[in-house]
Structure 1
């Protein structure tokens, strides 16, 4: 394209303390980490940073406290080249924190803290969303997500919902507003109300909306409902040995949003997202492992050699 696509990412911004341990604790005690990092992160923020590394011009709309942690968060995301001028700072509130343990197999335990006073509904959008080629929202700031999804659809831009684990009422509020829904398996099950396999959950979720629907399954790949054919299709994930799965979903969503903004065919956008997420899993440090565009395209060429070039 003649210019980078413009993406707005809406939702969580947290200070993550990530500790690497041999095994995840099964009992109380003291455990010594072999590695550690502290970074500005959160679902929307991590997706924004990933999209920026993939070549998009990205703005973040998030809410933080008026504390020193908030200063650290904004500085950390701006250092990635993401525009943080829309980040709201709420007087008298605390910025979000998360403590995360990652084991030798890349699996993790996440314990977040959100000051709900900082997550109150915004009164208005921070900008004219017609200037953006796509809008991506998560479920952590529902009021802002609802405004952004509605405005993006009105502007005719992809309105993408990262549907992750959240209360059912939040998911029900946001699902009808999205043009594209990419749900985790747990979120799909919360909505569908059954312990379904990902393929069945994808079909069930697609029957409840007119939006594009995909369900992600980590190393098992992703499933998407092809409305023209009337059935679910599968995109296999590249086979890798995971070091750290933290933020892989965020990287997936950020890459998928870039793909849609660049008008990639949807299956190609899912492959682009799968390749970026797989590369992230090879590196410890959460979103810090997000790849650049050249790495992602090389991964795609290796795993889908007959596919079109992104």
Structure 2
């Protein structure tokens, strides 16, 4: 039975929201030096919140549940998400600070260095509203707010909401998130912790822990999709890279947006890879997120065999 009602969301996220200050440089930052900034931008950041921004721009109805500071940056985080169409449910404690991240981006390669500001804190477990999670099709959680993610994922499993986990670090909490998830998406540096450099084998090992699907993202080298006991390697879409910030986060949101349109896992992976590549053409984790129409044009131009009709679109 469909969960759709007036309180329904396609996707609810419980995870980190931050504010990014991005500096594009021609050389790495160092002490006692005057460096020229070639470009500056500031915008919302954080893995789950950026994933929701991507999914929303691609047509999903989304909601973020998280904790931000009672400060100017918290206001900007909220406003930026709402500009992307993401509804926000925020816990804000008087006198608290939001997570601010300074990002140095190499002008030549798009590689980044992150300087974390105020340490982010988890929302109080008893505060987390559960009805939006129960009434959503998908829940996206990340390992930055693992306690909140685990609690939300346990609620989702009880209500048959599908759980997608963004696992960015190994550990006991991440292990629990993997067990609770239907889909696990993680970078190769984390996947390699399980079985060395054989990412296909690592994906299958993770698949045995409970998920239906595992995707290992590899940046410009593409990704590995594991499902139904087999693996498929997918190449990335080459673009002129400005900044790789948010590439994985946008991949997560676009992957879910693809599932919501009725795409199978392989097609959703291609859809997400295209969105991630397009986002790398601009400075910041959200500046380059495409619309659905822009993404379809991009995919058809670069991969003539990609045909949106094969996906059997639903929920238009």
When residues 195 and 294 of structure 1 are mapped into structure 2, their CA distance, relative to the original with a 3 A threshold, is same
Does residue 1:103 correspond to 2:106, yes or no?
yes
2:171 to 168, 175, 190: 168
CA distance in 1 between counterparts of 2:159 and 2:17 reads 26
When residues 152 and 259 of structure 1 are mapped into structure 2, their CA distance, relative to the original with a 3 A threshold, is farther
CA distance in 2 between counterparts of 1:274 and 1:136 reads 18
Residue 291 of structure 1: aligned partner: 290
Shift of 1:114: 4.3
When residues 120 and 131 of structure 1 are mapped into structure 2, their CA distance, relative to the original with a 3 A threshold, is closer
Shift of 1:120: 4.8
When residues 121 and 172 of structure 1 are mapped into structure 2, their CA distance, relative to the original with a 3 A threshold, is farther
Shift of 1:31: 2.0
Residue 237 of structure 1: aligned partner: 236
CA distance in 1 between counterparts of 2:81 and 2:301 reads 31
Structure 2 counterparts to residues 169-184 of structure 1, below 5 A: 169-184=172-187
Residue 199 of structure 1: aligned partner: 200
Moved more, 152-161 or 265-274: 152-161
1:61 to 65, 69, 73: 65
When residues 114 and 143 of structure 1 are mapped into structure 2, their CA distance, relative to the original with a 3 A threshold, is farther
Residue 217 of structure 1: aligned partner: 218
- Aligned length in residues: 302
Residue 208 of structure 1: aligned partner: 209
Q: Does the aligned pair in 1 maintain the 2:137–2:161 contact within 8 Å?
A: yes
CA distance in 1 between counterparts of 2:30 and 2:235 reads 32
Q: Does the aligned pair in 1 maintain the 2:181–2:211 contact within 8 Å?
A: no
Shift of 1:210: 4.2
Residue 39 of structure 1: aligned partner: 43
TM-score by length of 1: 0.90
Q: Does the aligned pair in 1 maintain the 2:62–2:86 contact within 8 Å?
A: yes
2:75 to 63, 71, 76: 71
4+ runs deviating over 4 angstroms: 2-5
Q: Does the aligned pair in 2 maintain the 1:198–1:216 contact within 8 Å?
A: no
In structure 1, list runs of 5 or more residues that go unmatched.
Answer: none
Residue 86 of structure 2: aligned partner: 82
2:96 to 69, 93, 97: 93
Q: Does the aligned pair in 2 maintain the 1:47–1:253 contact within 8 Å?
A: yes
CA distance in 1 between counterparts of 2:247 and 2:145 reads 20
Residue 56 of structure 2: aligned partner: 52
Q: Secondary structure at the match of 1:241?
A: coil
Shift of 1:100: 0.1
Shift of 1:170: 2.6
CA distance in 2 between counterparts of 1:59 and 1:90 reads 20
Q: Deviations over 1:178-214 (max 9, x none)?
A: 1110111122133x1x531432322332233343111
Q: Deviations over 1:283-306 (max 9, x none)?
A: 223211111111111122233322
Residue 186 of structure 1: aligned partner: 189
TM-score by length of 2: 0.88
Q: Secondary structure at the match of 1:23?
A: coil
Residue 247 of structure 1: aligned partner: 246
Q: Does the aligned pair in 2 maintain the 1:134–1:260 contact within 8 Å?
A: no
In structure 2, list runs of 5 or more residues that go unmatched.
Answer: 312-316
Shift of 1:219: 1.0
Q: Secondary structure at the match of 2:86?
A: coil
CA distance in 1 between counterparts of 2:234 and 2:207 reads 17
CA distance in 2 between counterparts of 1:167 and 1:204 reads 14
